[in-house]
C-alpha cells in the first residue's frame, strides 16, 4: 500500500507527528513513498492571525523559537538530537522522498501525484482545501487527522476553541476526506483528558502524540479492510473559523501559550 503524506510545513508539531507515523509503520516504512510539506499560504495573513491569537509578546518569542529550531535543524546533520526540527529532517533520516509544493491543487502537483499513483493520501494539518481532482487519485481514499473529536470542532484552530470553551475532554479523529471541510466518515478516534493547567502548546503536543497513533491505526484498518465507519453526523457538527482579535484577548486572559 503506497502512502503519500501531505503535511503542514512548521517546526513545532508537524515533525513530531510525522515521526510517530513513520515509527508506527517502521516494519513497512517503504510504503511511505513521499512526503510533501505544505506552506500555510499568505504570510501577511498568517502573521495577523497569530498576532490576534497570541499577542505581540508571544508572537516575538515564537519568532525567536522558529529561528532557534531552524539552527538546530541545520546542526542535526552533525549531531543527533532527541527530536526532529523540520519535516525535511524526518524525511532525510528515514530515507523518504520529498516533494515540495505551495499549491496542492495545482495541475503540476496533481500530475505528479498521479504518476506516483498512491493507494492513500494522508493529510496532516494542511490548511489548504484538497479538491476533488486530488482526492480522487488514491485508490483507497484520502484521509485527514483532525485535532478534535468530530463532528465537534470542525474547521480552523480546534485546539484554540476547545481551550477557550473550557472543555475537559477532547481527542483526535482520522476521517476520510471529501469536498466538505472535516466532513468525511470517521475511521479512528482517540480521546484524552484536558488538564486544568493545559496550555495551547501542551495540548498540541498531545495532539501530535495521539494523532500519530491514530493515523497508524487507521492505516492498519484500511490495509486489512477492517474499517468500521463512525458517522460524522452533520446534525451534531459545530464549525469554527479563524479566531478574531477579541477571541485572542479572551483566550490570553484565561490561558497561556506556554
Report the run of H or E that residue 213 belongs to, with start and end. Answer: helix 200-223
Residue 258: per-residue pLDDT: 59
pLDDT band for 100, please (50, 70, 90 cuts): confident
φ, ψ (nearest 5 deg) of residue 182: 55, 35
Query: How many structural domains is the chain composed of?
Result: 1
The grid coordinates of residue 29 equal: 516504512
Contact between 13 and 211 (Cβ < 8 Å): no
Residue 60: CA count within 13 A, CB half-sphere: 2
The CA radius of gyration of the chain, in Å to the nearest whole number, is: 18
CATH number of the domain enclosing 155: 3.40.50.170
Whole-number percent of the chain with pLDDT over 70: 94
Q: Give me the long-range contacts of 44-51 (CB less than 8 A, separation at least 24).
A: 49/242, 49/243, 51/248
The grid coordinates of residue 196 equal: 486544568
Instruction: Indicate the pTM of the whole model.
Output: 0.92
Whole-number percent of the chain with pLDDT over 90: 64
Cα 169 to Cα 237: distance, rounded to the nearest angstrom:
17
* Closest C-alpha among 43, 72, 47, 41 to residue 62: 47
Residue 49: per-residue pLDDT: 76
DSSP string, 20-48: HHHHHTGGGGGGEEEEEEE--S-HHHHHH
3-class SS of residue 185: coil
Q: Tell me: the pLDDT tens digits for 192-240?
A: 999 999 999 999 999 999 999 999 999 999 999 999 999 998 888 889 9
What is the overall mean pLDDT for the chain? 90
Domain that holds residue 111: 3-254
pLDDT band for 51, please (50, 70, 90 cuts): confident
pLDDT band for 255, please (50, 70, 90 cuts): low
Amino acid at each position: 500500500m503506497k502512502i503519500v503524506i501531505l503535511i503542514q510545513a512548521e517546526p513545532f508539531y508537524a515533525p513530531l507527528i510525522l515521526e510517530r507515523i513513520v515509527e508506527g509503520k517502521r516494519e513497512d516504512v517503504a510504503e511511505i513513498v513521499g512526503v510533501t510539506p505544505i506552506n500555510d499560504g499568505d504570510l501577511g495573513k498568517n502573521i495577523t492571525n497569530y498576532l490576534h491569537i497570541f499577542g505581540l509578546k508571544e508572537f516575538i518569542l515564537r519568532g525567536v523559537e522558529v529561528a532557534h529550531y531552524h539552527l538546530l535543524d541545520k546542526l542535526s546533520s552533525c549531531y543527533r538530537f532527541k527530536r526532529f526540527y523540520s519535516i525535511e529532517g524526518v524525511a532525510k533520516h528515514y530515507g523518504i522522498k520529498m516533494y515540495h509544493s505551495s499549491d496542492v491543487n495545482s495541475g503540476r502537483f496533481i500530475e505528479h501525484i498521479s504518476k506516483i499513483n498512491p493507494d492513500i493520501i494522508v493529510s496532516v494539518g494542511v490548511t489548504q482545501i484538497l479538491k476533488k481532482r486530488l482526492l480522487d487519485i488514491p485508490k483507497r481514499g484520502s484521509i485527514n487527522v483532525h485535532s478534535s473529536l468530530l463532528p465537534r470542532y470542525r474547521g480552523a484552530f480546534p485546539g484554540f476553541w476547545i481551550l477557550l470553551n473550557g472543555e475537559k475532554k477532547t481527542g483526535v479523529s482520522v476521517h476520510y476526506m471529501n469536498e466538505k471541510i472535516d466532513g468525511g466518515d470517521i475511521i479512528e478516534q482517540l480521546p484524552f483528558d484536558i488538564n486544568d493547567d493545559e496550555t495551547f502548546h501542551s495540548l498540541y503536543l498531545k495532539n501530535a502524540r495521539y494523532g500519530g497513533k491514530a493515523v497508524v491505526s487507521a492505516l492498519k484498518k484500511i490495509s486489512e479492510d477492517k474499517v468500521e465507519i463512525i458517522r460524522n453526523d452533520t446534525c451534531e457538527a459545530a464549525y469554527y473559523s479563524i479566531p478574531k482579535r477579541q477571541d485572542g484577548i479572551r483566550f490570553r486572559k484565561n490561558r497561556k501559550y506556554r
